[in-house]
Amino acid sequence: MILGKEQIEDSNQENLSRHKKNHEFISDQINNAEEVIKKLIDFQVAIPSWALGTGGTRFGRFPGGGEPRSLEEKIEDIGLLHALNGSSGAISLHIPWDIPEDSDVIKNLAAQHGLRFDAMNSNTFQDQPDQKLSYKFGSMQHVDKAVRKQAVDHNIEVIKYGKELGSKSLTVWLSDGSTFPGQLNFRKAFLNTLESLREVYAALPPDWKMFVEYKAYEPNFYSTTVGDWGQSLLYTSKLGPQAYTLVDLGHHLPNANIEQIVALLLMEGKLAGFHFNDSKYGDDDLTVGSIKPYQLFLIFNELVEGMDARNMNHANDLAWMIDASHNVKDPLEDLLQSVEAIMIAYAQSLILERKKLVEAQNNNDVVTAQEILQKAFRTDVRAIVAEARLRAGGALNPLSVFRNEKVRENLIKERGSKTTATGL
Ligand SMILES: [Mn+2]
């Protein structure tokens, strides 16, 4: 299914006069509205190819129907999102779930939808049907050199697919670790992993980046071999200038100060980018901004401050991606909500009175510092975000267009009600 420009424009016409009022109101309150809108238009969030089907838990999976059956249909789904919000102009692939059979065809199809290929993701956390050696006890950390080599070769193959598609980065997330004390020698596991990562790093094209993602626990519940940002930074520092640490919001122990982690990684020039999601307890699967929107804002505040301090381009110098997958919502509606939450937090951090904040910090004026942060966070910037969408050719209200145009019903008609997308 392809959403026509007229369908979106018709819906925008209906909402236009109310939007104009809201937009004028907010533009009067802040002094950099035009600058914010330009930055919002440039800002694109990559959609992962594995988040387009209903996610499962270990207790079950409840597909909602009309799920994409192929990489082509996944691209079509992301094209729908991008047509609606103008901010989902990139796709991140997981290999081997989404091996492109003909890269040129896939590349052209993506280009037709205005999409580029963001980071490529390898997978050594599952055994594939035709796989020789098992990852049951880890991949790059494995005690058996042959298993480590298999994991390295897989990552090098992922780079090859990425090169064909025009991607410029590889994300390595390892589930390696241990479930019980005594299972693993921590030092040997680290050194094996480092050696394996070095072999993959050596295969990177010169204009590529390698992202090393960390996760505190799950699927291993005693230790994880890339368990936190310190361990990731240790690997990426040893690997070299093309290696960066990737932050996934849901991969921390409860109450971790993620905004501080972000500030320090940025300072060191070692922040790769983000996997956005949210969580109440210890998962990494809920819709961005659904539980802790203030935390999301505080993170964006550090991102903007830190990127500006290094003269970085907000849109291109870091990788922005959603990484969430759960059981109960329409995945496309969920992704629209996540992108909206990201754009709101970004806009709020752009309107923050930064000079005044520095002044308050230098005067140890804690009250004013908090007031400045919360003033930005409590400003309703939705009309600014909507204006950016409108100017980018998207919908003022993406969710209502999605529902009014019966997108899911159409996808079910086209693909059937019993389809299951590859992924989690
Ligand atoms: Mn992730």
Measured CA to CA, the distance from residue 83 to residue 209 in angstroms comes to: 29
Whether residue 326 contacts residue 74, with contact meaning beta carbons closer than 8 Å, is answered with: no
Q: What angle do CA 332, 335, 340 make, to 5 degrees?
A: 130
Residue type, 349: S
Whether residue 323 contacts residue 52, with contact meaning beta carbons closer than 8 Å, is answered with: no
CA of 323 to the centre of ligand 1 (A): 5
CA of 275 to the centre of ligand 1 (A): 5
pTM: 0.97
CA of 236 to the centre of ligand 1 (A): 17
CA of 245 to the centre of ligand 1 (A): 12
Whether residue 287 contacts residue 341, with contact meaning beta carbons closer than 8 Å, is answered with: yes
Q: What is the pLDDT of residues 73-105, one digit of tens each?
A: 999 999 999 999 999 999 999 999 999 999 999
Measured CA to CA, the distance from residue 27 to residue 34 in angstroms comes to: 8
CA of 321 to the centre of ligand 1 (A): 9
CA of 291 to the centre of ligand 1 (A): 18
Residue 420's pLDDT is 77
CA of 248 to the centre of ligand 1 (A): 5
Whether residue 271 contacts residue 262, with contact meaning beta carbons closer than 8 Å, is answered with: yes
CA of 213 to the centre of ligand 1 (A): 7
Residue 55's pLDDT is 77
State the CB neighbour count (10 A cutoff) for residue 264.
Answer: 14
The number of angstroms, rounded, from the C-alpha of 40 to the middle of its chain's C-alpha atoms is 16
Residue linked to tokens 């950099």: 32
Q: Which residues surround ligand 1, an ion (CB under 5 A)?
A: 248, 275, 323
Note the maximum CA span of the chain: 66
CA of 19 to the centre of ligand 1 (A): 35
The tokens of 177 are what? 């670790």
CA of 277 to the centre of ligand 1 (A): 9
CA of 207 to the centre of ligand 1 (A): 23
CA of 239 to the centre of ligand 1 (A): 20
Q: What is the pLDDT of residues 119-163, one digit of tens each?
A: 999 999 999 999 999 999 999 999 999 999 999 999 999 999 999
CA of 282 to the centre of ligand 1 (A): 13
pLDDT of residue 424 exceeding 70: no
CA of 145 to the centre of ligand 1 (A): 26
Whether residue 167 contacts residue 210, with contact meaning beta carbons closer than 8 Å, is answered with: no
Residue type, 339: V
DSSP bridge partners of 93: 120
Which of the 8 DSSP states describes residue 248?
E
Give the percent of the chain with pLDDT over 70. 100
Q: What is the pLDDT of residues 169-203, one digit of tens each?
A: 999 999 999 999 999 999 999 999 999 999 999 99
Residue 62's pLDDT is 82
CA of 276 to the centre of ligand 1 (A): 8
Length of the chain: 424
Structural domains in the chain, CATH included, are 44-351+393-415 (3.20.20.150)
